[in-house]
Amino acid sequence: MTESPFSLPDRAEIEPVLRLALERASDYLAGLDDRPALAPDVEERLRPFAGSLPEHGHGAMEAVRLLAEHGLPAATTTAGPKFFHFVVGGVTPAAFGADLLTALLDQPAYAWASSPLGVHLEVLALRWLRELFELPAEWTGVMTTGATMANFVGLAAARQWWGESHGRDPSRDGLAGMPPVPVFSSGHIHASALKCLAMLGIGRDAVRIAGSGPAGRLDAAALDRGLRELGGAPAIVIANAGEVNAGEYDPIREMLDIARRHGAWLHVDGAFGLFARISPRTRHLTDGVDEADSVTVDGHKWLNVPYDCGFSFVRDVGLLKRAFAYSADYLPGPDDPRPNFGSVGPESSRRARALAVWATLQAYGRAGHRHIVEHHLDLAQYLGARVDREPHFERLAPVQINIVCFRYNPGGLDESTLDALNERLGRALLEDGRVFAGTTKFEGRVAFRPAISNWRTREADVDLLVDVLDELGAALARELSRSP
Ligand SMILES: *Cc1c(COP(=O)(O)O)cnc(C)c1O
């Protein structure tokens, strides 16, 4: 055998690389519950990853060893139980195992021709999800990278419908020369929906907010009036099932009735909030969603499957097929009776993310996933009650779902000082790294908004959040009282 002067992929590397990766993965998982949300000296830890492109590679063992050695300790512990920032789900063991196999198989789940397994499991898992969320069986689903792209799918179908109502095909002709697309929502609209409107050529400023008060809660009369003023012209209404600051829900049934009265499209963004539907304790929050035209859900949030994974459900598959029409001589034709996800969604080559979704539903079923959701509902109530008991904290909103909105408030400070203090406390919490939660503005006030969506999280993790905030908050408040 002649020695190459540089490294090349070699079958002999596979066994040792796999053993190394699995060994490190196993150690990592064994310590996951106790890991901080982020090492405080992360920039130091990233230093080994530098330099210019190696001319002669170092081989697979060296590359993977470097990543295990320096990469694992530098990663945010998003899979762990102390990560309350954004809305970040964990990974169930079944989903984790299936995702390893997904990487192993490297299937493009574009169409039957590229992966019967990926496509079959996607069809099946989407059917199970419709059962889980009690959505009509005849709706079409497609898996996406997340809720942003699921919103994109739903709103692309809406745009297609809107264009066709004007006698045009926007996917073929574009929107040039057409009137602006009227879009309505409450102040709860998610930033990703605005990004989707930008990507769809509708424009983020197309949205008219029918909201009132500092939280922008739906003003139903304003929505009704706005649609009536269009005089029957088609419009898109976006309802928000679970917003990120306090876990509030738009009144979906009411928005549905208004949309129907004026012949408008109703899109529901239920990225994490649709999971309220799987517990009888919170199901009422999603009332009416099964009569909408398109619905968004995230997989990597409350379903606890790995990144990246989201679901879009749309009533009229024809709109999706026209919006995402995709063909070439070397691809399966549009009349191929077998499933073809590449022509009902934005991606063509796509990860077989259905394997992890199928696996977690197969492993734990409806009851298991309902238990995960209810465990988080309980933990959110527990956190809310603890915040209420603590003298230095103030809850700012009712605890309705898995988000608790509160601020640090030691008393005797005016609003602008409290805002500055909570902003600094937010930064201090992330620098400290033991536990992660982010800040936001709720009704004009700087607030914490931890979201609980990891199956591993326990009361002790939630307690740690309050304890660390109390400790860091006291230090900042002392500093504040010393400064003139
Ligand atoms: C998280 C979220 C999104 C965006 O989801 P990604 O998975 O990050 O793309 C959209 N809408 C709502 C309500 C969300 O919470």
Please give the span between the terminal C-alpha atoms of the chain, in angstroms, as a whole number: 76
Q: Which of 148, 194, 300 to mutate to test the pocket of ligand 1 (most atoms within 8 A of CB)?
A: 148
State yes or no: pLDDT of 481 exceeds 90.
no
pLDDT score of 333:
83
Ligand 1 atom at shortest distance from the alpha carbon of 149: 9
Kindly give the interhelix angle for 116-132 and 354-389, rounded to the nearest 10 degrees. 40
Distances 215 to 87, 219, 248 between C-alpha atoms, Å: 19, 11, 10
Cα 310 to averaged position of ligand 1 atoms, centre (Å): 9
Average pLDDT estimate for 73-84: 98
CB-based contact 278:369 (threshold 8 Å): yes
Give pLDDT, residue 130: 98
Task: Give Cβ neighbours of residue 103 (< 8 Å, ≥ 6 apart).
Answer: none
In 3D space, the residue among 309, 325, 341 whose CA is nearest the CA of residue 113 turns out to be 341
Q: Which amino acid is at 110?
A: Y
In the chain, % helix, strand, coil (3-state, to 5) comes to 45, 10, 40
> Could you read off the pLDDT of 197-247 as tens digits, one per residue?
999 999 999 999 999 999 999 999 999 999 999 999 999 999 999 999 999
Distance CA 270, CA 268 (A): 6
Give yes or no for residue 6 having a pLDDT over 90: no
Specify the DSSP class assigned to residue 451: B
- What is the reported pLDDT for 2? 56
Going from the Cα of 312 to the center of ligand 1, the distance in angstroms, rounded, reads: 12
Mean pLDDT score, 41-64: 96
Atom of ligand 1 nearest to the CA of 310: 7
Confidence of residue 484 (pLDDT cuts 50, 70, 90): low
In this model, does residue 269 exceed pLDDT 80?
Answer: yes
pTM for the predicted model, two decimal places: 0.98
Question: For a pocket test of ligand 1, which of 185, 192, 199, 248 has the largest count of ligand atoms closer than 8 A to its C-beta?
Answer: 192
Q: How many angstroms separate the alpha carbon of residue 298 from the centre of ligand 1?
A: 7
Cβ atoms 377, 423 nearer than 8 A: no
Q: Tell me, what amino acid is at 41? A: D
Domain boundaries, the chain: 1-73, 96-361, 365-482
Cα of 65 from ligand 1 centre, angstroms: 34
Summarised one tens digit per residue, pLDDT across range 294-314 is 999 999 999 999 999 999 999
Domains 96-361 and 365-482 share a fold: no
Using the mean position of ligand 1's atoms as its centre, give its distance from the Cα of residue 299 in Å.
10
Distance 391 CA to ligand 1 centre (A): 33
User: What is the CA(1)–ligand 1 centre distance, in A?
Assistant: 53
Question: 394 and 445 in contact (C-beta within 8 Å)?
Answer: no
Which residue's alpha carbon is nearest to atom 5 within ligand 1?
A: 147
Q: What is the pLDDT of residues 372-399, one digit of tens each?
A: 999 999 999 999 999 999 999 999 999 9
Which amino acid residue places its CA nearest to atom 10 of ligand 1? 147
Q: What's the gap in Å between 104 CA and the centre of ligand 1? A: 28
Rounded to an integer, what distance in angstroms lies between the CA atom of residue 479 and that of residue 463? 24
Q: Tell me if the bond preceding 219 is cis, omega within 30° of 0.
A: no
Report the topology of domain 96-361. Aspartate Aminotransferase; domain 2 (3.40.640)
Query: Which ligand 1 atom lies nearest to the CA of residue 151?
Result: 10
DSSP state of 436: B
pLDDT of 272 > 90? The answer is: yes
Residue pLDDT, tens place only, 346-375: 999 999 999 999 999 999 999 999 999 999
Strand, helix or coil at 270?
Answer: coil
pLDDT tens digits, one per residue of 143-189: 999 999 999 999 999 999 999 999 999 999 999 999 999 999 999 99
Among protein residues, the one whose CA lies closest to atom 2 of ligand 1: 271
- Spell out a b/e string for 46-82, using b for 16 or more CB atoms within 10 Å of the CB, else e: eeeeeeeeeeeeebbeeebbebbeeeeebbbbbbbbb
The Å distance, Cα 191 to ligand 1 centre, comes to 8
pLDDT band at 480, cuts 50/70/90?
Answer: confident
Residue nearest to atom 14 of ligand 1 (CA): 271
Percent of the chain with pLDDT over 90: 96
Centre of ligand 1 from the C-alpha of residue 300, in Å: 10
Average confidence (pLDDT) over 18-23: 98
Nearest to 458 by CA among 20, 25, 82: 82
The residue whose CA has the least distance to atom 3 of ligand 1 is 147
Closest CA to 154 of 73, 97, 238: 238
pLDDT of residue 3: 65
Task: Output the ligand 1 site: residues, CB below 6 A.
Answer: 87, 146-148, 190, 192, 242, 244, 269, 271-272, 298, 310
Yes or no: is domain 365-482 CATH 3.90.1150.170?
yes
